[in-house]
Structure 1
Amino acid sequence: MKSVLKTIFLLLLTLHAVAQEHLFVETESFTDKGGWVIDQQSFVVMGSSYLMAHGMGRPVKDAVTTVSVPKRGKYQIWVRTKDWAPFPKGPGKFQVVLDGKPLNTVFGESGSDEWKWYYGGETTLQNDQVRLALHDLTGFNGRCDAILLTSVPKFTPPNALEALSAFRKKMLNLTDKPADAGHFDLVVVGGGIAGTCAAISGARMGLKVALIQDRPMLGGNNSSEVRVHLRGDVDKNHYPKLGRIVREMDNGDPGNGHPDAQEYGDARKIAIVKGERNLSLFLNTHVDQVEKQGDKIIAVTGRDIATNKETRFSGTYFSDCTGDGTIAALAGAEFRMGRESKAETGESLAADKSDDFTLGTSNLWASLDRDTVSAFPETPWALPFSDEYHIDEARSDWQWETGFGNFNTITDAEKIRDHNLRAIYGNWSYLKHHKQAKYGKKELAWVAYIGGKRESRRIIGDHVLNQMDIQEGKQYPDGTVTATWTIDLHFPDEKNKQYFDGQEFFAGTKHIKVAPYTIPYRCLYSKNVSNLFMAGRNISTTHVAFGSTRVMRTCGMMGEVVGFAAYIAKKHNTSPRGVYQTYLPELMGIVRDDVPASITPEARK
């Protein structure tokens, strides 16, 4: 017994000593981020967010913070970063500044696109606090994950993901019990149009709802961070009252990539959500842990993308509205990614052979007219354009798209976004230098650094919607959401493929018209996780059918139905499947007649 106690004491002593010797700073936690932005899109790969200098070719204001020093003395400095465009060296150059003195090393130009620790030299800290700053040199997306100052001689921080994650958790004290947000009837993860509508719908039905979003604003692809306009009709419904919440979210049609952020109604979306008495909103929270008992999810834990504070949310029902099917995958739900074959589905539009092909991700951009001529740097690290091939546009549309099976839209999210940036900056640089009469007085005013995804995981439900369901207009007893969008499956533009084979960033499509059809409720809950709903682009469809269901007004109506179904499930203490098997008439009655008389106006405020 004494030996066990001695071992525990020595372990605690060692951990305390480590804390005294390391000063670990996650850059996203800087108190003043200046012109740098938080990027969490690769959290599932890196286990962390990071800061990025997204200045569109103009250096951004320094990010600054002040931290306490464990003890005075000599420290070795390590900086975790990468060269995001090593062709042969990229433009993302920046310096780390300690107490006003920049380190001699310039980071972000190593020629390696691998995230790793780079040695920054040695310094002596003579005060109890040190002021850290990130100083951008180019405005072209330099990035920094973390800074480590260590007094341990010859210490090298880990680069391997598992070891790095353990080290990060230890340095951030993430082994402690997360904060408890409480218990909710419905926990909605993902604050795009689908998730926001699901949360509002459930709250207005009297449920206690948590809405968790991993960005500072709601709307997902329809937010000012991505700027995709809403598509799909809400006025052709078999059930005309369905779509009321979608209409509240709708800010009109500013088109894709509008240069004015206000056109996308970010503040109004948040105001609507915060006006719901039964709804608690948690922004900037990335859910990366799921707890289960048997085939049920009992809780999820999310980490704040800026502070790294962890919060636990327990719930009776959960809805995966992440688009990527993140919660479903963590919970072991069945899902599909890529294209099915004709033999598998019987669909005439299916691929001859199943594969990993998915629709891609867009980063939209826009320029504005100015009174004077403006310059833009040469971009030798970007994609090459020429008189023979360039894109003569002053504002992008949906066609600026990367993916198509060449990249995994989840694990390669950073690579996809960076490829899009190399295309945007390279093409713009060409236009500014070779078409000055037309573009000399135009300035690149906005470029999305958050990718607008189309396709990734599709969670398998009790029904998998297919091409025949859509084109034949099959009316299932549980047909709820009326969908109207064409079967809209993208593929690389032929000319773009000719010049950038395997690196395409521009898309084409063929719109195959469909009559209004209904999406069965059975597509909106998981086949094997018994208390998991889903709404949005990750519902249960084939790749072909997904081409029609994926647009945001349609996805928003799915969310409304999920809120109704969660209410019935709680009322009868049953599962999402139980709603279909036993209480379908009640669900369809709510879809048809909106809110039952049993839901009082007070419960909906």
Structure 2
Amino acid sequence: MKIPLNFIARYCLLALLGALSVHVKAQTQVLVEAESFDDPGGWVIDQQSFPVIQSSYLMAHGMGRPVADATTTVRFEQPGTYHLWVRTKDWAPFPKGPGKFQVWVNGKPAGGVFGESGSVDWKWYYGGEVKVDEAAAEIRLKDLTGFNGRCDALLFSTSGSEPPQDSAGMSGLRRELLSLDQTRKEAGHFDLVVVGGGIAGTCAAVVAARLGLKVALIQDRPVLGGNNSSEVRVHLRGDIDKNHHPKLGRVVRELDNGDPGNGNPSGSDYGDKRKLDVVSYEKNIDLYLNTHVYQVEMEGGRISAVIGRNIKTNREVRFTGTYFSDCTGDGTVGYLAGADYRMGRESRAETGESLAPEKADDFTLGTSNLWASLPVDSVTSFPETPWALPFSDEYHIDEERSDWQWETGFGNMNTITEAEKIRDHNLRAVYGNWSYLKNNKTEKYGKRELAWVAYIGGKRESRRLLGDHILTQMDIQEGKMYPDATVTATWTIDLHFPQKENSLYFPGEEFFAGTEHIRVAPYTIPYRCLYSRNIPNLFMAGRNISTTHVAFGSTRVMRTCGMMGEVVGMAASIAKAHNTTPRGVYEDHLDELVAMIKD
């Protein structure tokens, strides 16, 4: 067929105009993600709200002392006058919060002070016009208080139009201006893709690698260990020396750096380097730190790939695999894949458990942000905190460092979608109480300073992915030994609730927990709790395994979770050897799995 010349000319002209349009758009809008700054200074990267805002952000976590500037160089294809927009929020708007900061462009402040708007929502705020004379400009985020000001992104635009405020519009803007689809990389194909680098995920990856599997271990923070890392500082609990399978727990021992207690001011005591060294030694493990998995691809009802985004660079990586293990704690991979799950408490009628409530509800155990103070040579001050929780002579917590009881959540906030709100409530409690102690108990606290406050929440409970068996209170207390008995657990049924005195002074805003330890004899967790009942190639290990809320109160501690990971690593190797599913291991190769666990 002969194509007319005028059609070709028209087509070429349209293509040229389209190319020019894209080029001009790229020139006239420059998106700068705060977490991607060249030098974060004293600011820290927080990814905990990624499921809500689809991004990480920078936060000025100075514990009341302004942090060093975050700086970067932004390159403009086209010098000129730009409208500056700053995406931020007021995290404690009572009526105005303390998270104040400025944006400086080429040595001059632009747009006034941000972070004190009185609005708790993430929004774009207008920062006025900025003149850019050179091809590059130096940008600074200047913290003014040290009290957790936060910045998600900056947008320089030649148009005065407001950027999209909604999540979907912001996600589209980010994908377009950062060219996320064009820059996505392929990590390759793996026998086992482990998502979550806490104790459970790390153990799963190490065991699978030692058994010859090619493994990807993906962690959304710069360190391994999860709650047992220097970022959260919770010590390991659960016994591994009372095991029905005595050799199970060997990798847990390798990762265990001793017992520094909860909230120790020395972060090195939690063994970040030890964990990293163990993983780095394994040639079959490809480790991806700082990578948040937020998307899955399905094929024939199975997971075929997961996609992660680097929390600093925003570059995306795609991982294909034969088997996947959800060790995220939140059940993120399972949830995205459509796995059956529960969140909250089942009713007594449903489970038959005496410790279950009469009616099902959304109650979950909360999240802790631990803290510690240390003595100093001279008297120091700490600001008044009118935006924090109020303490008084009648009620305050007279402690030099925290323990697990500093906990928020308890069913009145969703531990996944409201993770930032929960963490911020914990910070308001910590800072408010410390301000009271410093300004009213100077004899004891005058020569002490906050040495460390966790900004990464130590989460206990969220989604529980359902397997072919759901562990119950009766399984635990009756010590039932199923044929697929694997991990031996020893921790009490430890279900937290708001402490009564704390509820009296802060009704509906509790941040301090109580518990009743219901002791149990060593019992076993069936292998059927460690794989999904409806996603055929999905394992799980950690606090998101298949249990009721009551049983979860015992299984959730980290040495126990680590042994779950070891079992998953073994089961994955058997599944690959026989080209079967996690369920197929139970149905057709259980004797082989049990023998491997014993040996």
Matching of residue 346 in structure 1 with residue 356 in structure 2:
no
Partner of 1:182: 188
Partner of 1:48: 55
Q: 1:284 to 1:394 in 2, by over 3 A?
A: same
Partner of 1:601: none
- CA-CA distance at 1:480 after TM superposition: 0.2
Determine which of 66, 90, 103 is the counterpart of 1:59. Answer: 66
- Aligned-partner Cα distance in 2 for 1:416–1:7: 52
Matching of residue 569 in structure 1 with residue 561 in structure 2:
no
- CA-CA distance at 1:16 after TM superposition: 2.1
- CA-CA distance at 1:7 after TM superposition: 6.0
Matching of residue 295 in structure 1 with residue 295 in structure 2:
no
Matching of residue 359 in structure 1 with residue 365 in structure 2:
yes
SS of the aligned residue for 2:48 comes to coil
Which structure 2 residues correspond to residues 544-583 of structure 1 after superposition, within 5 A? 544-583=550-589
| 2:318 partner amino acid | R
- Aligned-partner Cα distance in 2 for 1:382–1:14: 49
- Aligned-partner Cα distance in 2 for 1:9–1:474: 72
- Aligned-partner Cα distance in 2 for 1:583–1:147: 55
Determine which of 522, 527, 532 is the counterpart of 1:521. Answer: 527
- CA-CA distance at 1:6 after TM superposition: 6.5
Matching of residue 113 in structure 1 with residue 120 in structure 2:
yes
Partner of 2:377: 371
Which structure 2 residues correspond to residues 192-207 of structure 1 after superposition, within 5 A? 192-207=198-213
Partner of 1:598: none
- Contact map agreement 1:288 1:303 (CA 8 A) in 2: yes
- Aligned-partner Cα distance in 1 for 2:550–2:16: 60
| 1:551 partner amino acid | V
- CA-CA distance at 1:250 after TM superposition: 0.5
Partner of 2:256: 250
Q: Extract unaligned runs of 5+ from structure 1.
A: 594-605
Determine which of 78, 89, 95 is the counterpart of 1:82. Answer: 89
Q: 1:8 to 1:240 in 2, by over 3 A?
A: farther
- Aligned-partner Cα distance in 2 for 1:505–1:326: 26
- Aligned-partner Cα distance in 2 for 1:303–1:590: 36
- CA-CA distance at 1:14 after TM superposition: 2.6
- Aligned-partner Cα distance in 2 for 1:4–1:498: 73
Partner of 1:542: 548
Which structure 2 residues correspond to residues 221-260 of structure 1 after superposition, within 5 A? 221-260=227-266
- CA-CA distance at 1:10 after TM superposition: 4.6
Residue by residue, what CA displacement relative to the aligned partner does 1:455-481 show, whole Å, maximum 9, x if unpaired? 000000000000000000000000100
- Contact map agreement 1:233 1:553 (CA 8 A) in 2: yes
| 2:92 partner amino acid | A
SS of the aligned residue for 2:116 comes to coil
- Aligned-partner Cα distance in 2 for 1:162–1:86: 25
Matching of residue 133 in structure 1 with residue 129 in structure 2:
no
- CA-CA distance at 1:104 after TM superposition: 4.3
| 1:21 partner amino acid | T
SS of the aligned residue for 1:105 comes to strand
| 2:312 partner amino acid | A
Partner of 1:381: 387
SS of the aligned residue for 1:106 comes to strand
SS of the aligned residue for 1:175 comes to helix
- Aligned-partner Cα distance in 2 for 1:342–1:171: 52
Residue by residue, what CA displacement relative to the aligned partner does 1:495-516 show, whole Å, maximum 9, x if unpaired? 0001111110000000001110
- Aligned-partner Cα distance in 2 for 1:396–1:81: 30
- Contact map agreement 1:66 1:131 (CA 8 A) in 2: yes
- Aligned-partner Cα distance in 2 for 1:42–1:104: 26
Partner of 1:317: 323
Q: Extract unaligned runs of 5+ from structure 2.
A: 1-6
- Contact map agreement 2:183 2:315 (CA 8 A) in 1: no
- Aligned-partner Cα distance in 2 for 1:4–1:508: 71
- Contact map agreement 1:290 1:301 (CA 8 A) in 2: yes
Q: 1:52 to 1:482 in 2, by over 3 A?
A: same
- Aligned-partner Cα distance in 1 for 2:361–2:242: 35
Partner of 1:413: 419
- Aligned-partner Cα distance in 2 for 1:414–1:532: 28
- CA-CA distance at 1:15 after TM superposition: 2.5
SS of the aligned residue for 2:321 comes to strand
Q: Aligned pair count?
A: 592
Residue by residue, what CA displacement relative to the aligned partner does 1:74-122 show, whole Å, maximum 9, x if unpaired? 1110000000000000000000000111124100010111100000111
- CA-CA distance at 1:70 after TM superposition: 2.2
SS of the aligned residue for 1:163 comes to helix
- CA-CA distance at 1:177 after TM superposition: 5.6
- Contact map agreement 1:22 1:70 (CA 8 A) in 2: no
SS of the aligned residue for 2:379 comes to coil
Determine which of 161, 168, 171 is the counterpart of 1:165. Answer: 171
- CA-CA distance at 1:486 after TM superposition: 0.2
- Aligned-partner Cα distance in 2 for 1:177–1:578: 38
- Aligned-partner Cα distance in 1 for 2:343–2:11: 49
- Aligned-partner Cα distance in 1 for 2:255–2:108: 48
Residue by residue, what CA displacement relative to the aligned partner does 1:385-425 show, whole Å, maximum 9, x if unpaired? 00111000000000000000110000000000000000000
Greater CA drift, 50-59 or 163-172: 163-172
- Contact map agreement 2:84 2:154 (CA 8 A) in 1: yes
Partner of 1:32: 39
- Aligned-partner Cα distance in 2 for 1:125–1:283: 36
- CA-CA distance at 1:5 after TM superposition: 7.2
SS of the aligned residue for 1:404 comes to coil
Q: CA RMSD in A?
A: 1.1
- Aligned-partner Cα distance in 1 for 2:208–2:17: 51
- Contact map agreement 2:111 2:126 (CA 8 A) in 1: no
- Contact map agreement 2:32 2:155 (CA 8 A) in 1: yes
- Aligned-partner Cα distance in 1 for 2:219–2:297: 19
- Contact map agreement 1:23 1:70 (CA 8 A) in 2: no
- Contact map agreement 1:80 1:147 (CA 8 A) in 2: yes
Which structure 2 residues correspond to residues 274-293 of structure 1 after superposition, within 5 A? 274-293=280-299
- Contact map agreement 2:58 2:151 (CA 8 A) in 1: yes
- Aligned-partner Cα distance in 2 for 1:104–1:239: 64
Partner of 2:217: 211
Which structure 2 residues correspond to residues 492-531 of structure 1 after superposition, within 5 A? 492-531=498-537
- Aligned-partner Cα distance in 2 for 1:237–1:4: 73
| 1:284 partner amino acid | N
- Aligned-partner Cα distance in 2 for 1:279–1:562: 15
Partner of 1:603: none
Matching of residue 69 in structure 1 with residue 43 in structure 2:
no
SS of the aligned residue for 2:396 comes to coil
- CA-CA distance at 1:13 after TM superposition: 3.4
Q: 1:384 to 1:241 in 2, by over 3 A?
A: same
- Contact map agreement 1:488 1:548 (CA 8 A) in 2: yes
- Contact map agreement 2:194 2:201 (CA 8 A) in 1: yes
Residue by residue, what CA displacement relative to the aligned partner does 1:282-319 show, whole Å, maximum 9, x if unpaired? 00000111011012111111000000011111100000
